């Protein structure tokens, strides 16, 4: 691969202990991602979650146990991760990822992992990461299907190139209505972390410009190429001429 | 095992999934799973089996926690040198009172097995034991950034038919957590809905899974399993 093209996906050559990641959501996707990033040796982890632990979380959110029900997720997750990695900087934020704080948070890290469970947050994370030219690993899960997409500066498309806008409220079933297979969330969250580690190591991501969809019951995976869409309000610039 | 209101609340997100439902959750609660291997690579899978409500999980790993395990999921640095079985049981038992975690006893007979072995020879031996015990099993093959998960329901082609020719390869890396969770997912679906289970192999290559049905090798001893 030509050096100039390869360099587009590099975020530096420092060791992982000097790298940082923002993980939005510490639940079904964010939990396994945080565990995996911590184990790999990422030096600074900023984790955001504004919820409390509920009993119905416990089938899929690995950072929490029965004794944590009612406690704040950000604090519990940070305590678990600090016990594992006393040398790492674990920064819990008990707040929502919102327009008021998003840009500063994204600018302050090397990679963003979106493990949120609502579309408004997912599209905000996409827009802010694209604007800040930071790599974003997007993930979603519902029932027995997971999807992943990596957004990096360059010719590959972003989440908004694919979907344009979040679906209308109530257009999609909620986790409570459709269910979530816990181990599938673990699979997807760990894949998101592995992808972030590839990006932090200066490698090209496996899901850059490729939406991976995996259905657990059939175990079938599908990759859909995502190109920049002309007129995408996040990417702003016209699509490159093919 | 019937579901009481506490379990219904706890497993609410699983009960609405097609293929699990109330009956599937009851099957998970009645299952006794032998887990071969309790290393840091195996722990994500064991944790998800615990969270899913498997009735009993028996950890089979004679090794102590090693330096390579330190910092992974449930292995704080101070656990290095302690028996893995004990560390895994204590850490994960605290996550659910609906699941019984214990070190494996040689005389115990499981209803399913999951193999997170650290070597190809150990994986083959554990899978063959499961076949002889006539229990469904799932076997993980680590191979650096990728690897495979082979699912062996009853009467399906055995692990020897579906495994990699060279066996497990390079030591597991960051993707091991994904592979481990995938193995748990396969076993959960197999136990919850055994009639829908098929012998298959899922390969994970640079973050992208692909699946194929396993096929029985000519002359393999597992052909006799169909008669049973």
Name every chain A residue with its beta carbon within 8 A of the beta carbon of B178: 186-187, 190-191, 194
Of A38, A182, A195, the CB nearest to B207: A195
Residue A192: the pLDDT is 97
Question: In this structure, what token pair is assigned to residue A138?
Answer: 């997007």
CB contact at 8 A, B200 and B213: yes
Judged against a pLDDT cut of 90, whether residue A167 lies above it is answered with no
Which candidate in A29, A194, A223 is best for mutational testing of the B interface (most B CBs within 10 A)? A194
DSSP for A156-216?
A: B--HHHHHSSPPPTTSS--HHHH-B-HHHHHHHHHHHHHHHHHHHTTPPPTTBTEEEEEET
Residue with tokens 């020879």: B121
Tell me whether residues A59 and B52 touch, CB distance under 8 A: yes
Find out whether B211 and A218 touch, Cβ atoms under 8 Å. yes
Q: pLDDT tens for residues A111-125? A: 999 999 889 999 999
User: Are A35 and B182 a contacting pair at CB < 8 A?
Assistant: no
pLDDT of residue A178: 82
Q: Is the per-residue pLDDT at A67 higher than 70?
A: yes
Strands A20-24 and A220-225: unpaired
CA B210 to chain centre: 19
Query: Length of chain B in residues, anyone?
Result: 228
Sorted by sequence, the CB contacts under 8 Å of residue B118 that are 6+ apart come out as B37, B39, B142
- Least Cα distance to A206 among A219, A195, A222, A220 occurs for A195
Residue B221: per-residue pLDDT = 86
Q: Which residues of B touch A144 (CB under 8 A)?
A: 17-19
Neighbouring residues of B192: CB distance < 8 A, sequence distance ≥ 6: B19, B20, B21, B24, B25, B27, B28
Residue B67: helix, strand or coil by DSSP?
A: coil
Q: List, in order of start, the domains of chain B with CATH numbers.
A: 5-227 (3.40.50.720)
The arithmetic mean of pLDDT across residues A127-153, rounded, is 94
Q: Of A180, A207, A216, which is closest to B207 when you measure between CB atoms?
A: A207
Phi, psi of A6 (to 5 degrees): -65, -40
With contact defined as beta carbons under 8 Å apart, do A176 and B12 qualify? yes
Confidence band, pLDDT 50/70/90 cuts, at residue A1: very low
Look at strands B112-115 and A44-48 and give their pairing: unpaired
CATH T-level topology, domain A14-144+163-208: Rossmann fold (3.40.50)
B87 and A CB contact within 8 Å: no
Number of helices (H) and strands (E), helices first, in chain B?
8, 8
At residue A36, φ and ψ (nearest 5 deg) are -70, -40
For the segment A105-114, what is each residue's pLDDT rounded down to a tens digit? 999 999 999 9
Q: Which of A95, A118, A114 is nearest to A106 (CA)?
A: A114
Specify whether the CB–CB gap between A151 and A126 falls below 8 A.
yes
Q: Which residues of chain B have pLDDT under 70?
A: 1, 166-171, 226-228
pLDDT of residue A238: 54
For residue A187, is pLDDT > 50?
A: yes
Whole-model pTM: value is: 0.94
How high is the pLDDT of residue A174? 77
For residue A9, pLDDT over 50 is answered with no
Per DSSP, A35 falls in state H
Token output for B213? 């049905």
Are B174 and A86 a contacting pair at CB < 8 A? no
- Angle, vertex CA B66, rays to CA B61 and CA B72, nearest 5: 90
What residue ranges do the domains of chain A occupy? Answer: 14-144+163-208
Query: Chain A partners of B95 at a C-beta cutoff of 8 Å?
Result: 58, 65-66
Q: pLDDT, tens digit, for every residue of B151-179?
A: 999 999 999 998 877 655 666 777 899 99
Q: Give residue A231's pLDDT.
A: 85
């Amino acid at each position: 691969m030509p050096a100039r093209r390869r360099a587009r996906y590099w975020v530096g050559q420092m060791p992982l202990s000097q790298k940082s990641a923002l993980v939005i959501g510490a639940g079904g996707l964010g939990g396994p991602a945080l565990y995996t990033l911590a184990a790999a040796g990422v030096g600074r982890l900023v984790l955001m979650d504004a919820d409390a632990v509920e009993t119905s979380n416990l089938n899929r959110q690995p950072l929490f146990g029965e004794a944590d029900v009612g406690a704040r997720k950000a604090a519990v997750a940070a305590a678990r991760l600090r016990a594992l990695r006393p040398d790492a900087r674990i920064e819990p934020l008990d707040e929502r990822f919102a327009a008021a704080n998003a840009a500063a948070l994204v600018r302050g890290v090397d990679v963003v992992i979106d493990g949120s469970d609502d579309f408004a947050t997912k599209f905000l994370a996409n827009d802010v990461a694209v604007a800040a030219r930071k790599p974003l690993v997007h993930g979603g899960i519902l029932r027995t299907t997971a999807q992943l997409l990596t957004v990096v500066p360059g010719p590959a498309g972003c989440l908004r190139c694919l979907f344009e806008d979040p679906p209308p409220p109530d257009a999609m079933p909620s986790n409570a209505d459709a269910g979530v297979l816990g181990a599938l969330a673990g699979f997807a969250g760990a894949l998101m972390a592995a992808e972030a580690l590839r990006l932090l190591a200066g490698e090209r991501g496996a899901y850059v410009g490729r939406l991976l969809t995996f259905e657990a019951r059939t175990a079938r995976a599908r990759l859909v190429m995502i190109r920049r869409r002309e007129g995408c309000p996040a990417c702003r610039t016209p699509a490159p001429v093919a | 095992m019937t579901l009481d209101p506490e379990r219904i609340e706890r497993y609410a997100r699983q009960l609405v999934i097609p293929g699990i439902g109330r009956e599937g959750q009851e099957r998970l609660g009645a299952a006794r799973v032998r887990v071969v291997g309790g290393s840091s690579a195996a722990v994500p899978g064991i944790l998800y089996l615990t969270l899913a409500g498997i009735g009993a999980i028996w950890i089979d790993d004679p090794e102590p926690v090693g330096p390579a395990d330190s910092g992974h999921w449930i292995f704080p640095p101070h656990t290095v040198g302690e028996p893995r079985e004990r560390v895994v049981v204590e850490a994960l038992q605290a996550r659910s009172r609906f699941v019984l975690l214990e070190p494996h006893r040689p005389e115990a007979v499981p209803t399913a097995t999951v193999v997170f072995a650290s070597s190809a020879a150990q994986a083959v031996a554990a899978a063959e034991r499961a076949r002889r015990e006539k229990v469904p099993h799932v076997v993980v093959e680590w191979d650096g950034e990728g690897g495979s998960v082979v699912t062996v329901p009853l009467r399906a082609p055995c692990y020897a038919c579906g495994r990699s020719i060279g066996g497990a390869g390079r030591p597991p890396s960051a993707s091991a957590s994904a592979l481990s969770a995938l193995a748990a997912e396969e076993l959960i679906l197999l136990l919850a809905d055994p009639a829908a289970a098929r012998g298959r192999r899922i390969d994970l290559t640079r973050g992208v899974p692909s699946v194929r049905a396993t096929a029985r090798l000519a002359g393999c001893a597992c052909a006799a399993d169909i008669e049973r």
